[in-house]
Amino acid sequence: MQDWWQKQFPQGRQYLKITDARGNPVQIAYGEKGRGKPLIFVHGLGIWSISWQHNIDFFAQYYRVICFDLKGYGFSDKPAYPDKSGYKIIELERILAALEIKAAAVVTESVWGAVGLAVAEEKPELIDRLIVIGGTIFPKKLPNIGLKIMAVIPLSLVRIIDILRLPKILAPLTRWNLRQIRSEVVVRGEIPPEDVYWQAYPYINFLHASTRLVIDVKQAAAEISCLQQQKPCLLSKIQDKLETITCPTLVLWGAKDRWFPVTEARKLDDRLPNSRLKIIPDCGHDVSADCPDEMNQILLEFLQDTDY
């Protein structure tokens, strides 16, 4: 099967080196296509750059499209050590610096929508336009039983599972599990087998992929718990500063999102001073996979309407 990166990008998979939030060097995998103003795609929890496969070619006609795998995901480095909450915010800023991008339009999805919002608050000069797709910062609970299990399973056990390479030994089960999870975030049809193969590829082939995912899920669970107890946390800090985000922002949601309801989209839109809300009918949580054509047209219209 042809390498996904080679098929998708003229130069295939490239790497850049950054210093992560703990001060350690890590390699970040990325690909780019097209020319013009930079359009950055930031994938969600548990997935990698393949998340944007239906958007890359379309937007490369208009912009310099860049997709990268966050630390711990896809083909980027996967250190087994835990990080403090908010480390992805720091590392997104450093990735943009390593790419020598002074300002960009940034597309975020799902749980990592909070990352884009936080950067827009802390470093507004970096974000010219912001697109948040299904990216709640008002979560009440983890949306999936698998994520809830990851939140309580001992991290030491997950490390053993990784070291024993059980996801590779049990590759069919790994793919089946991923297919089940993905079936919850789309409503228009099943995920094609080739997509399942590539989406599961890092978890089957790379050491510590499962460990990194569980680290992030545990962080997300801790944030949600603090939020529900009305204790100070990263999410509450981001919520408190939403009104300071002045860049044009698009809040995009699937009307049939089973993970985060549309009410959260409206709540986010109400808090942002320069935003527009678009809801796609008959579309699930993973808008880029479920409704790519509608998503492409809505994003392009937003970018062009705001002179980007």
CA nearest neighbour of 198 among 38, 12, 49, 27: 49
Is pLDDT of 91 > 70? yes
- Whole-angstrom Cα distance, residue 242 to residue 111? 16
Q: What is the sign, positive or negative, of the torsion defined by CA atoms of 194, 77, 139, 294?
A: negative
As a whole number, mean pLDDT of residues 135-160 equals: 92
Q: How does DSSP classify residue 190?
A: P
Give every CB contact of residue 80 below 8 A, 6+ residues apart in sequence: 159, 162, 208, 211, 212
> For the segment 154-196, what is each residue's pLDDT rounded down to a tens digit?
999 999 999 999 999 989 988 988 888 888 888 887 788 888 8
CA nearest neighbour of 178 among 168, 169, 187, 191: 191
Is pLDDT of 1 > 70? no
What is the average pLDDT value for the chain, to the nearest integer? 95
Is pLDDT of 50 > 90? yes
pLDDT at residue number 111 = 87
Is pLDDT of 284 > 70? yes
DSSP readout, 85-120? Answer: TTHHHHHHHHHHHHTT-SSEEEEEEGGGHHHHHHHH
Residue ranges and CATH numbers for the domains of the chain are 4-305 (3.40.50.1820)
> For the segment 198-208, what is each residue's pLDDT rounded down to a tens digit?
999 999 999 99
pLDDT at residue number 233 = 94
Q: Quick one: pLDDT band at residue 224, thresholds 50, 70, 90?
A: very high
pLDDT at residue number 30 = 99
Element spanning 303, H or E: helix 292-305
